Amino acid sequence: MISVYLSIIISFIGGYYMGQLLSSFVSLRPNRLLRFLVYFSLGLLSNTVIFNRDIVNITYAYIALCLVLLIGYRGPLLHKFSASVILYLFVPAFNYMLYYLWFPGWIHLRTSPIHNNFLVIWLTFSRPLLIVLLWYGIYRLFYQRIQTLRVYASTRIWILLDIISFGPLLLSGYIIVTTSDKMQPYSMFIMAVSILTEIGILYLVAYMAESMRLTIENKNLKVQQEYYHELEQNQLQIRKLRHDMNNHLGIIGEYVNYIGN
């Protein structure tokens, strides 16, 4: 029973980092109870078991993610859709790989007459811990950069990123749904490539965000420089005008004194 509670806590931590990463696309609603439910739901979602020809779990997990985004977050629908498309691939692909990497261990545990406590602990906690590390790593690498993109990117940029992300997402889904047990090694390789491709897309997002930020900062700097240059020119004109007026007033004063004498 303790192991079950610990697994739930570990999954909740993974859901927290996944939820924080989603909040870089759209804002998390401020209600504390709703936030807890969001993290708890994402913790369960991030640990969804995916196996060959598992169209049900893939579909339901994506629907669940969309519902969490619709209910627990506020922001443009396009940003919510982009968050689901860009980040969802990690759920089926990573869990699919973990399932078939850990499955032989469970088979050995059930068929072996010797009870191995270490193997039980390893199989129980290593999988959710790896999922936590996955979401924590993505969160640390890309949270700030996606937030920057959220501020500066246009609708066209978001649509372009969605189109690019659809490729590996559809490929991984197709492989999971159609792969037989004999093709398992090849599907594992494709899942790994899909995950790396999606990480590459996130790096593209980060690069675009940084480029947009620098471009806008350079434009603002140029505007400031032009403003200060214009201000300096105005100050010079005012000084020149003041100097001319002083000269004119001096001449007028001398003329008045001359007439008075």
Q: Give the span between the Cα atoms of 188 and 24, in whole angstroms.
A: 30
Domains of the chain, by residue range, sit at: 2-212
- Judge contact between 222 and 160, C-beta under 8 A: no
Q: Is the pLDDT of residue 107 over 60?
A: no
**DSSP 3-state assignment of 89?**
coil
Q: Give the span between the Cα atoms of 121 and 187, in whole angstroms.
A: 28
Pick from 167, 156, 165: nearest CA to 203: 165
Q: Give the span between the Cα atoms of 177 and 171, in whole angstroms.
A: 10
Measured in degrees and rounded to the nearest 5, phi and psi for residue 27 equal: -80, 135
Query: What pLDDT is recorded for position 259?
Result: 66
- Judge contact between 53 and 96, C-beta under 8 A: no
Q: Which segment of 34-38, 62-66, 153-157, 239-243 scores lowest on mean pLDDT?
A: 239-243
Q: Give the span between the Cα atoms of 206 and 211, in whole angstroms.
A: 9
Q: Give the span between the Cα atoms of 158 and 74, in whole angstroms.
A: 17
Q: Give the span between the Cα atoms of 134 and 124, in whole angstroms.
A: 17
Measured in degrees and rounded to the nearest 5, phi and psi for residue 122 equal: -60, -45
| Rounded average pLDDT over 26-38 | 93
Q: Is the pLDDT of residue 174 over 70?
A: yes
CA atoms within 13 A on the CB side of 1: 0
Of all residues in the chain, what percent carry a pLDDT higher than 70? 84
- The whole-model pTM stands at 0.77
Pick from 12, 70, 61: nearest CA to 39: 12
Query: What pLDDT is recorded for position 38?
Result: 94
Q: Give the span between the Cα atoms of 238 and 219, in whole angstroms.
A: 28
Query: What pLDDT is recorded for position 78?
Result: 92
| Rounded average pLDDT over 147-175 | 85
Cα 76 to the chain's mean position, in Å? 15
Q: Is the pLDDT of residue 109 over 60?
A: no
Pick from 73, 17, 64: nearest CA to 45: 64
How much is the CA Rg of the chain, to the nearest whole Å?
31
Q: Give the span between the Cα atoms of 12 and 127, in whole angstroms.
A: 13
Compare 46 and 233 and report the one with higher pLDDT: 46
Q: Which segment of 101-110, 175-184, 246-255 scores lowest on mean pLDDT?
A: 101-110
Of all residues in the chain, what percent carry a pLDDT higher than 90? 29
- Judge contact between 179 and 52, C-beta under 8 A: yes
Structure-block tokens of residue 237: 């004109």
At 103, the pLDDT band (50, 70, 90 cuts) reads low
